[in-house]
Structure 1
Amino acid sequence: MGHLPDGVSGPHTVTVLGAAGVVGSGVVHELAKTGAVQRIVASDPRTDLARAHLIDIAESARVVGSEVDTEFVLATPGELGPCELTVVAASVPEVPTGDRADFLAANWELLSGLVPVLERCCAEGGVVLLLTNPVDVMAECLRRATSLPPERILGYSLNDSARLSMAVARELGVPASRVSAWVLGEHGAGQVPLYGGVLVDGEPAELTPEARERVDADVRGWFARWSALSPGRSSGWATPSGVAVMVTAMREGGVLPVSVFTGCEGAGHYGLAESFVTLPAVLGAGGVSHVERWSVREDERSALAGAAEHVRRAADRLLPG
C-alpha cells in the first residue's frame, strides 16, 4: 500500500470531503503524486464523479511510472471513521457579484451539516484542515460548534503569501523564486502583509512607500482579476499544492502561514481577541504545535487585532448567543 517508513509521525490516512470538486480532487491528486500519505479516503455526494477522479489519478501514477503506491478508498459520509487528517474542500460556488454575507451563511450551513462527520473523523485525535471560505470565520464557527480542541483546527491561507511574493517580484523585477514574503491576518480584506520581513535571495529587501502601495493594489486586486476571467472555478492547483506542503510540515515541522486559533501556545504574543487568523505556526501531527513569536510593527499588530476582531464579530452573527 503506502510507502512511508514505519514510525514516521504525521498523517498516514487523509480523508477528503468534497473530493469530486476541482479543489478536492486536486488535493487527492497532489497528495498521491507527492507520496505525502499512505491512504486517501475520498467522500462526496457526487459518487460517480469522485470515483472517476480516483481512477484517473491512480492511472496517472502508472503513466509516469511513479513508485508511490497510494491506497484509494471511496466512502459515503456514514462510512467514514477516525483518521489523522480530514481536509474539508466542500463549498458552495462563490459568485463574484453575489452578496458576501449570503456566501458566508451558505458555507456555514454546509459546514455545520458536516459537524457530526468531522467529530467522528477526529474522534481519535485527528486534525481538521479547512479549505472552505471565508476560512477564518469558518474555522472560528467550527471551534464554537464542536468539541474539537482548537489547536486541531487549521485553516488554509498559504496562497495569500504566495501572491504577495509574486507581487513583490513583479515590483522589483526579479524572479518570484528569489522572493520570500508573508501575509498574516484574515484571508481577504483583512490581510496583513509583513513588508518588514520581505527577503530577496535571503536578504532583507526594503520597499519604498510608493512600491508598497503598488504591491498592495496588486495583491488586493487579485480576486477581481481572477473573477474577470470567468473561470468558473477556484484555485484548483495552488491550493492542493499548498495542502501537500502543510501535510509535509505536519510530519517534518517547519513554520507556515496558517489560520489558527489565537489561544494556541505562543499566539498570546500578538495580543489578539479569541478568534482565528493567519499567524506563523509550527505544525505537528496533532495540528498546531505552537505559534512563533515574531517581532511585528505597531501598525501590523494593530491590523492583526482588527482582523481578529472582524472574524470574531462575523462568527457572532452566524452563531448568535
Structure 2
Amino acid sequence: MNETAVKVKELVKRYRELLAVDHLNLEIKQGEIFGLLGPNGSGKTTTINCILSLLSYDNGEIEIFEKPMKADAYDIKAKIGVVMQNVAVFEELTVQENIDYFCGLYINDKQLRKQYVEEAIQFTGLEDFRKFYPKKLSGGLLRRLNIACGIAHKPKLIILDEPTVAVDPQSRNRILEGIMELNRQGATIIYTSHYMEEVEQICSRIAIIDNGKCIAQGTAEELKKLIKKREIITIDILSVTADDIEALKALPHVYSVTFEDSKLTILCDGGSHNLVRVLDYLQGKEYSFGHIHSALPTLNDVFLEITGKELRD
C-alpha cells in the first residue's frame, strides 16, 4: 500500500469573520496525481498555502511524507516543488539563469545543479530558448519556464496551480505530457485546474472543495456515480408536443425532458437501452429528427450538480 504524501486533518483557517477552510480532511497517497477542484473563493488556494506552511491556520494538522509540516521544516520543503498560477521568474535573468537560481535554492553541489538545470531545460523543451529573457517568450514558453524552475531540483511532491491557463494547445499538450512523465518518474502531484477535461485525463483521484469543505472525493468514475445524471440524450427535432414530452418522461429511467431551440434533451438516471426506447417512441409517433447524441456525464456535470456552480464561477 502506498505511503501517504500529504495528510490534512480537520484544517480550519479563518480570516476574521470569514471561515475560509472548514474542518477540511484530505489524504493524498505517494505516486498519485491528485486533482483539487473548487470554484473561486472555495478555499482551495488557502488550503494549498496552508499545506505549504505559507499561512498559519487556526486548527488542524498537516503532514508531508508522514512528518509534521511547519514553517521551519526546511528538510520537507526541499522535497516540494511549487508552480503557482502567476508566473514567478526574474525578468533580468535568462531562461537558463532563472532555472539555475531556483535549483540552487535546494542543490548546493555545482556539478549536480548543472546537470539538473540541463535536464529541466530538456524536459520542458526550452533548449532553443536558454539564452532568452522572459519578456521575449510567448505565454506557453513562459509557463514552461515557470514549471522548469519549480521542478529542476527533482522534488518528490509537486503542486501545480493552473499550469495551463492561457496557453496555446501545443504548449498545453506538452505541459500535460510533462506532468504525467514527472508522475511516472515517481513524483506525487497536486493539480488544480479550471479545465475539467484535463483533470479527467490525468488525475488518479479528485477532491471537490466548496465553502472550505471537501464535499466529494474519489476517482472520476466514482464521482460520476454520486450524481443522478447518468446519460444525456440530445436530439435535433423541429417540434414536439407537450403530451409527447410527458410520455417521454414516463419512460423507464427518464427523469427530465426539455425542448428548446429545436433540441430535445432527455436526462436518464441509469439503465440501458434508453436511447432505443426514446427513438422507438418518436418513430412510432412519426416524428422526423436530425442529429442524435448520447453522452455519459462529465466531471463538469458532477461539479455543477454537487456545488450548484460552474467551476469558472
- Alignment TM-score, normalising by the size of structure 2: 0.29
Bigger helix share: 1
Bigger strand share: 2
